[in-house]
A and B are shown apart, each in its own frame.
Chain A
């Protein structure tokens, strides 16, 4: 059992703003006029489209076939007609486009046939495949495919259910736990069996007493070691690594996964989706979304994946002074560049922002090295050092000071009295470093291509020389045997006339072969560019001159990098 809670260092206590939407039960959002279902559900994986415009689909019908290990299936969220398959903008800070299936609902909500799936009878492998078929991904925000996370079969001791929901404003998990605790726990029980974990710990922030009570009473019906734990409300207690630390004391470093340390963490929404997938055989076609902020009627809605945000927003009646909409919470979310983007599996909240609720940032002042940011940082970094290094474009130093351990939680920027947008500096530094890595690997690839071409040319020259030498040797052998046959087609005519000339020709050929072997070495010290130039010139010369057909096409092909 849980002996005690551990704490993580840092963290902040922003105003929770949960009361605006926490009291409103989950209601189904009305069917939108059309659904835009992205075939790419996360940055990691896409799926292959299975439908064509004009085709009728049923609710829960597969419209996307998973590709790659990280892919999951995509389903029609309701019954209707496919009207288009094409590029549409996504809910992403960059307004990125992705391939989507656009469905016009027929309003009948007719399901495909689906039946419960007995994970015990099916066995582990087939159960994981079933989750993939049902399109179940992590609903906490990262949308990591659940079958992959569960795929790690051994060495997991503890399953953690994340019900912390520490971002201000968001209440979708809170409502889900209050209203559907038994289903969540049933899903958690399946997850635990699939992963082979001994104990199950559910972490819920202590500012959700109703959710805690509901989950506690539901947990009583679950066999085995189960604990529902109230964790202190401290942002970012719901960060996966922070929650694992609080509940188990284990610290998972950057680049490592919980599985490496015997813990695996799933969001409560994911557990609910797992339950639906097994108990009813339903694929994941909807999720709970909180609509809140500067609105007249904040609430929580069960929303079909693919519902355009602008069709959803009127439900909450945003006030007239709303100036932008945030997706996710105010700490880690982003402002939507446009509103015709669809709800995706990661969409947990849309906040109407007004200048009064989210005032524009004050002008940036100088860092006074007060260390407030370091005290707030849950990754225990020295954010102001990262800031100085990022600002000075000293990226090596920034990495030495563990830039990539930063989870971009925003705690440092939240507390900074100088109003420095610290996280922006880290995003800038990280993207610069990535860009440089990309450039470097592109250069590496070019160098490799070049070296391989050189190698091939050398080899061809050697082969040519060897052929010539063999021919000369043959001639010599013939001369030695006294066979003067004129019918010999391979022997050059002059050589046949005069044995002396033949000897000279053979010697010349040897010398030429040697010279050709030596030649590339002369250029070894030159720069790559110059070497490439020389190689090109040689290739041209050969093409024009004694035309060794084999060499030229090879060079030409190499000159065209994909």
Chain B
């Protein structure tokens, strides 16, 4: 027998995921414009791999395939994987990463809603540990035309010297290791634009626009992006004020790498993130602090993925300790 309530809001997981995909479009458009259309190829490769991998596992687990594929969550993961990876990684790396994300991180934990880790970030970490060289080849903005990108993605051979590129984050990190280098001297190196990496400000703006779409459609709440960006700004700002020569400015951190993508699309993953309002603030701020530490002192140019995974580990504790008081029990203790 069906019980009350007998009416439902016309909402669905498909709708949520579709909104996320649409919100990614401004960022993708900026990506194509500034870096090149190769990203579209990567998105297609990741999507196909993710859907195929999910279908295969579901069939093996004897679960209904169509409904799970139709919910769109695999596509969101696939797009995020593609957007986080360098646009010129070979096709098999992208496909492998998408499979790792969907099969190992999501389905093996029980499918949608069950995974304790953010699938895209777990795949990113796996790949940067396994293929550090391939994962750090980023072309500078406008450096490579589409044909070259396509050849790099699909071709079997790659001439590493021909594509010496490094992100602004990478340049900043390695540049500052040189004796007597300062932020200002490193910034002369050409990888930099107005605020972050050259051309990357536009991507950041695109993701920001998408993030506003997500906020307006109530797919995400303000807590995570606000806490993430504020914490990143505060921690980088504090060190920058004390040692402007040694540490990059908050503006640089916010506009570089995946900060905007992470703020609106990655830390906000509901499944693996904290759920209470206070928990969300703690979670996102934690990711930002870890990311800044790794960016500034770690062995990798970008630390957001590691930050997300580490904070994923803390989610049960965060959620437990931040249960909001219930109606009529304000001031009472949390369970």
Q: Are B4 and A330 in contact (CB under 8 A)?
A: yes
Q: Are B112 and A380 in contact (CB under 8 A)?
A: no
Say yes or no for B62: interface residue by CB 8 A criterion: no
1/0 per position for B1-18, CB-CB distance to A under 8 A?
Answer: 111111111011101100
> A328 — which chain B residues lie within 8 A by C-beta?
4
Q: Are B3 and A424 in contact (CB under 8 A)?
A: yes
Once bound together, how far apart are the Cα atoms of A72 and B117, in whole Å? 59
Q: When A and B form their complex, what is the total count of cross-chain residue pairs whose Cβ atoms lie within 8 Å?
A: 137
A369 contacts which of B3, B271, B324, B328 (Cβ < 8 Å)?
A: B271
Q: Are B4 and A416 in contact (CB under 8 A)?
A: no
Say yes or no for B276: interface residue by CB 8 A criterion: yes
B12 contacts which of A385, A405, A410, A419 (Cβ < 8 Å)?
A: A419
The distance from the CB of A239 to the nearest CB of chain B, in whole angstroms, is 10
> A375 — which chain B residues lie within 8 A by C-beta?
221
> B2 — which chain A residues lie within 8 A by C-beta?
335, 360-361
Say yes or no for B137: interface residue by CB 8 A criterion: no
Q: Are A253 and B328 in contact (CB under 8 A)?
A: yes
Say yes or no for B34: interface residue by CB 8 A criterion: no
Q: Are B275 and A330 in contact (CB under 8 A)?
A: no
1/0 per position for A1-28, CB-CB distance to B under 8 A?
Answer: 0000000110010110000000000000
Q: Are B9 and A326 in contact (CB under 8 A)?
A: no
Q: Are A241 and B275 in contact (CB under 8 A)?
A: no
The distance from the CB of B306 to the nearest CB of chain A, in whole angstroms, is 22
> A360 — which chain B residues lie within 8 A by C-beta?
2
1/0 per position for A411-433, CB-CB distance to B under 8 A?
Answer: 00111111101011001000000
Place the interface of chain B in its size category. Answer: 35 or more
The verdict on A334 contacting B13 (CB below 8 Å), with A371-B275, A402-B329 known, is no
**Which of A362-394 touch B at CB < 8 Å?**
362-363, 365-372, 374-375, 378-382, 384-385
The distance from the CB of B300 to the nearest CB of chain A, in whole angstroms, is 28
B275 contacts which of A384, A424, A427 (Cβ < 8 Å)?
A: A384
Q: Are A417 and B275 in contact (CB under 8 A)?
A: no
Q: Are B13 and A365 in contact (CB under 8 A)?
A: yes
Say yes or no for B165: interface residue by CB 8 A criterion: no
> B230 — which chain A residues lie within 8 A by C-beta?
none
The distance from the CB of A384 to the nearest CB of chain B, in whole angstroms, is 7
Once bound together, how far apart are the Cα atoms of A384 and B15, in whole Å? 19
Once bound together, how far apart are the Cα atoms of A420 and B205, in whole Å? 36
Residue of A333, A402, A421 most packed against chain B (CB within 10 A): A402
Q: Are A326 and B6 in contact (CB under 8 A)?
A: yes
Task: List the A residue with the shortest CB-CB distance to B110.
Answer: A366
The verdict on A379 contacting B71 (CB below 8 Å), with A368-B270, A413-B5, A416-B11 known, is no
Q: Are A414 and B275 in contact (CB under 8 A)?
A: no
The distance from the CB of A134 to the nearest CB of chain B, in whole angstroms, is 32
Once bound together, how far apart are the Cα atoms of A362 and B15, in whole Å? 14
Once bound together, how far apart are the Cα atoms of A205 and B330, in whole Å? 26
Say yes or no for A117: interface residue by CB 8 A criterion: no
> A361 — which chain B residues lie within 8 A by C-beta?
2, 8
Q: Are A380 and B326 in contact (CB under 8 A)?
A: yes
Q: Are A331 and B12 in contact (CB under 8 A)?
A: no
> B12 — which chain A residues lie within 8 A by C-beta?
362, 365, 417-419
Task: List the A residue with the shortest CB-CB distance to B1.
Answer: A335
**Which of B292-334 touch A at CB < 8 Å?**
319, 323-330
Once bound together, how far apart are the Cα atoms of A168 and B8, in whole Å? 12
Once bound together, how far apart are the Cα atoms of A421 and B3, in whole Å? 8
Q: Are B11 and A369 in contact (CB under 8 A)?
A: no
A366 contacts which of B1, B11, B114, B328 (Cβ < 8 Å)?
A: B114
> B13 — which chain A residues lie within 8 A by C-beta?
365, 368, 417-418
The verdict on A241 contacting B328 (CB below 8 Å), with A360-B2, A363-B67, A368-B270 known, is yes
Q: Are B8 and A241 in contact (CB under 8 A)?
A: no
Say yes or no for B155: interface residue by CB 8 A criterion: no
Once bound together, how far apart are the Cα atoms of A25 and B158, in whole Å? 82
Once bound together, how far apart are the Cα atoms of A245 and B328, in whole Å? 9
Once bound together, how far apart are the Cα atoms of A363 and B276, in whole Å? 27
Q: Are B9 and A252 in contact (CB under 8 A)?
A: no
B112 contacts which of A14, A333, A368, A371 (Cβ < 8 Å)?
A: A368
The distance from the CB of B333 to the nearest CB of chain A, in whole angstroms, is 11
Q: Are A365 and B8 in contact (CB under 8 A)?
A: no
Q: Are A8 and B327 in contact (CB under 8 A)?
A: yes
Q: Are B325 and A401 in contact (CB under 8 A)?
A: no
Q: Are B7 and A414 in contact (CB under 8 A)?
A: yes
Q: Are B6 and A368 in contact (CB under 8 A)?
A: no
Q: Are B9 and A333 in contact (CB under 8 A)?
A: no
Of the A-B pairs whose beta carbons lie under 8 Å apart in the complex, a sample of 5, sorted by A's number, is A15-B7, A330-B5, A382-B323, A414-B5, A417-B11
Known: A331-B6, A417-B12. 18 other contacts (CB 8 A): A14-B7, A93-B3, A241-B327, A330-B4, A331-B7, A332-B5, A334-B3, A358-B6, A362-B12, A365-B112, A368-B73, A369-B275, A370-B270, A379-B327, A381-B326, A405-B328, A414-B7, A418-B13
